[in-house]
Amino acid sequence: MTEPLLLADIVGVYGIKGWVKLRPYLEDPTILTRSESLILTPSAGAKKAASRAVNVVAVKTQGKSLIACLAGVTDRDDAESLRGWSIAGPESCLPAAGDGEYYWRDLVGLRVFCRDGTQKVLLGEIDYLLETGSNDVMVVKATDDSVDDAERLIPWLPDTVVTQVDLDERSVTVDWYLDA
């Protein structure tokens, strides 16, 4: 079984009826209400607390925040005790990526190549991705067999910079340049 995916963090409370404020890691937070196998994971500082199943009854936007009603959390004190906890779930609760779409977790660790003339040159592997607002950015770290030991920030621009993604081969080909 794979490790549950982090879907949201509980960052605060809302009102007196036990609603919590969330920091979601999903484009569509309503996935939380449609998933049956969610797990509430304690914060690092929680003493003698264990992960447990959780049911998200409702999710809605409140101002710039996202708030949620969790089954069994009925008052502000209950909600406050969950501050810093996380909601995780199985990979199966996420929709399948569309054609040409990828989850970041599937891209991390892929080897990144560029062309230098007729040669395919290894730049390194994707360490993580950054969301910048205008476009996402791959942080490519050097590997033992990469062309040099440089870390590169390469924009995730499909069909312009990112010319091919092959999940089976665990590689990404980019139209990028070698630093001189």
CATH of the domain at 47: 2.40.30.60
In a domain, 44, yes or no: yes
CA distance 82 to 79: 5
Last residue of a domain, one of 93, 120, 147: 93
Q: What is the pLDDT of residue 162?
A: 94
In a domain, 99, yes or no: no
Adjacency order of strands within the sheet including 152-155: 152-155, 136-141, 119-131, 111-116, 171-174, 162-166
For residue 154, the enclosing domain spans 104-174
pLDDT band at 50 (very low <50, low <70, confident <90, very high): confident
To the nearest whole number, what is the mean pLDDT of the chain? 90
- Quick one: 39 and 18 in the same domain? yes
- Quick one: 31 and 89 in the same domain? yes
Region 44-64: mean pLDDT is 85
Last residue of a domain, one of 58, 93, 128: 93
26-39 confidence digits (pLDDT tens): 888 889 999 888 99
Q: How many domains does the chain have?
A: 2
Adjacency order of strands within the sheet including 86-89: 52-54, 38-41, 86-89, 5-14, 19-24, 65-70, 56-62
- Quick one: 70 and 21 in the same domain? yes
Ranking 62-66, 70-74, 75-79 by mean pLDDT, the lowest is 62-66
- Quick one: 13 and 66 in the same domain? yes
CATH number of the domain residue 138 falls in: 2.30.30.240
| pLDDT surpasses 90 at 143 | yes
Question: Closest by alpha carbon to 103, among 9, 21, 6?
Answer: 6
| pLDDT surpasses 60 at 106 | yes
Instruction: Look up the pTM and report it.
Output: 0.70
Q: Is 170 left (phi over 0), alpha (psi -120 to 50) or beta?
A: left
CA distance 159 to 163: 5
